[in-house]
A and B are shown apart, each in its own frame.
Chain A
């Protein structure tokens, strides 16, 4: 068995997951992981599946596209490479970074550029920009892994300086705090 990752994108409506998984079932694929979300009215789903050796990438795409394009859905798939151990085995601490402040273009790019420079990996990002200057209407929440050997003070300083330049209110908190408070 080989593994593939499939992403499905399109306007949300009832029956999308049923349609995708029905096709996968017919092609004798086994679903290992699914994550899906809806942003505004748009559906996005990622499926990791194990695929029979006999089924080619092209054939799988043909089946999926035939079933899903009439529903206005776009499908993309690719073979899953073996995980490169050295990239994931970095020891890290989980943090949550929250910003609030007036909307403008380039907010996410500015903040994530600093994170990337410090080798910080974003594991989850929720961002809502309703526009305007109401800080509560323009929020970014990053769940990140900060490598243990990263320079925490420099990272915090860089993030705070950038936030100040963008008039953002920024908070950088260890994830355990949120777990302690929100999880029994």
Chain B
């Protein structure tokens, strides 16, 4: 028996605040699909993916219906293709991407992640082939997402890989020039990539994972915002310690629901339950924005002075509430600040409140990094690589995940508008300040050694 207050607060949360389970992601190990024959490899992975994911969407919808809480996205992550398909050349890797795309289509999922390589310490043959294939693979497919881990706290920063990614991103943008460089929106460059991210575009299934696993991404920026608004309305003098508690309690509730639904989906699919990723992931809809939370906290906009500390408070409170609510926490677990995917953040950029420099600072205290940032199309490969390397340094030194998803929009300059559509949203193109086009420091290449605090043994 519940008290009426308990029941009414839950009903309110479900009804008016965009509470949902943001993603259920089926992780599939493809390593035993390996073959030196690309045709056989493609057949194997197609059969594996479509077989295992046959009921994914149906069961997610059934469980969502049962609880009245929709599982918004159903997705698939696979073993890094650079490893599973190590013998293949770039041309063959493009074909593999096409197969992944078809398999995702057959399973009715919108994205499949894992066209990925791990090159933080060195680039193997398969890695190089995969990276070389990325521009064409991401241009010719709709559902495939790619990621490359170029740095880690244990290994350091592979600047050769960073430079290669600068070049790859430019080429991907060029090939999708008619769609504002859309291919780049499906390509993340990481430091310290987790093995169990359920969110796209960074999802892949780590080498250390089992055959199949269900990872769940809970979100709920709208729920957090409303909880703050309600609390402040009833007590305008709340201090930040009290607000932190409110966010924590809210994150707890959201996470409990994610875990409940994720476990039931996993159980019905007969697949092991992996982790809950406690992230605030926005969509380009009013009321589902991380940026709006900054305003509820009392800032004029995300990006103004005070934004970094506000994000630190938010991120920490979400983790504390979520960690207690879930038995297994993983993935990125932190607030996302993707510019084009969050209406409010995108507006802040358009109004000049938010710069790339401030975004970079904010990534020190949250998960991901320079995410879905549209920049001028004439940004050079070396400047792109330099922005990536700066972001990687933040991750490596702070022992956390950072990533970039930069889109140099072909033919457009700062202040123009880029449109990606759907969940990827739209954004003003942000200026890259003080870039000369060349960067002699980075051009030296090599591996920046891992920091002293990586020597923990």
Contacts and interface: CB of A to CB of B under 8 A. Distances in A.
Given A98-B11, A180-B260, A182-B10, A174 B66 contact: yes
A30 B14 CA distance: 45
Given A124-B1, A139-B4, A180 B68 contact: no
Given A176-B67, A180-B257, A171 B2 contact: no
A96 B1 contact: no
A178 B14 CA distance: 11
B8 A173 contact: no
B257 A178 contact: no
B36 interface: no
Contacts of A171: 11, 14-15, 68
B304 interface: no
Contact of B8 (A98, A124, A172, A181): A98
A141 interface: yes
A178 B67 contact: no
A177 B260 contact: yes
Given A143-B1, A171-B11, A178 B66 contact: no
Given A178-B2, A181-B253, A172 B68 contact: yes
A18 to B, nearest CB: 24
A176 B67 CA distance: 8
A173 B11 contact: yes
B6 A178 contact: yes
Given A98-B7, A178-B7, A181-B253, 12 more contacts: A139-B4, A141-B7, A171-B11, A171-B14, A173-B11, A173-B14, A174-B68, A176-B260, A177-B260, A178-B6, A180-B260, A181-B6
A143 B256 CA distance: 21
Nearest to B67: A174
25 contacts: A96-B7, A98-B8, A124-B1, A128-B4, A139-B4, A139-B8, A141-B7, A143-B2, A171-B11, A171-B14, A171-B15, A171-B68, A173-B11, A173-B14, A174-B66, A176-B67, A176-B260, A177-B10, A177-B68, A177-B69, A180-B256, A181-B6, A181-B13, A182-B6, A182-B10
A138 to B, nearest CB: 12
Contacts of A181: 6, 10, 13, 253, 256-257
Interface in A155-184: 171-174, 176-178, 180-182
A126 B3 CA distance: 9
A128 B14 CA distance: 22
A22 B69 CA distance: 50
Contacts of B132: none
A173 B257 CA distance: 12
Interface of A: 96, 98, 124, 126, 128, 139, 141, 143, 171-174, 176-178, 180-182
Contacts of A180: 256-257, 259-260
A143 B253 CA distance: 20
Interface of B: 1-2, 4, 6-8, 10-11, 13-15, 66-69, 253, 256-257, 259-260
Closest 5 CB pairs of A and B: A180-B256, A180-B260, A182-B6, A181-B253, A171-B11
Contacts of B4: 126, 128, 139, 141
Nearest to A184: B324
Contacts of B7: 96, 98, 141, 178
A164 to B, nearest CB: 15
Contacts of A182: 2, 6, 10
Contacts of B8: 98, 139, 141
A173 B1 CA distance: 14
Contacts of B13: 181
Nearest to B6: A182
Contacts of A172: 68
Contacts of B66: 174
A39 to B, nearest CB: 13
Q: Which of B2, B4, B66 has its CB near the most chain A CB atoms (within 10 A)?
A: B2
A93 to B, nearest CB: 8
Contacts of A174: 66-68
Contacts of B68: 171-174, 177
A182 B6 CA distance: 7
A145 to B, nearest CB: 14
A176 B66 CA distance: 10
Nearest to A96: B7
Contacts of A178: 2, 6-7, 10
A141 B5 CA distance: 11
Contacts of A139: 4, 8
A98 B3 CA distance: 12
A126 B10 CA distance: 16
A173 B260 CA distance: 14
Contacts of A124: 1
A172 B68 CA distance: 8
A176 B257 CA distance: 9
A175 to B, nearest CB: 9
A128 B2 CA distance: 15
Contacts of B253: 181
A124 B7 CA distance: 13
A133 B4 CA distance: 19
A177 B63 CA distance: 12
B417 to A, nearest CB: 40
A37 to B, nearest CB: 11
Contacts of A141: 4, 7-8
Contacts of A173: 10-11, 14, 67-68
A177 B257 CA distance: 7
A124 B3 CA distance: 11
Contacts of A143: 1-2
B233 to A, nearest CB: 15
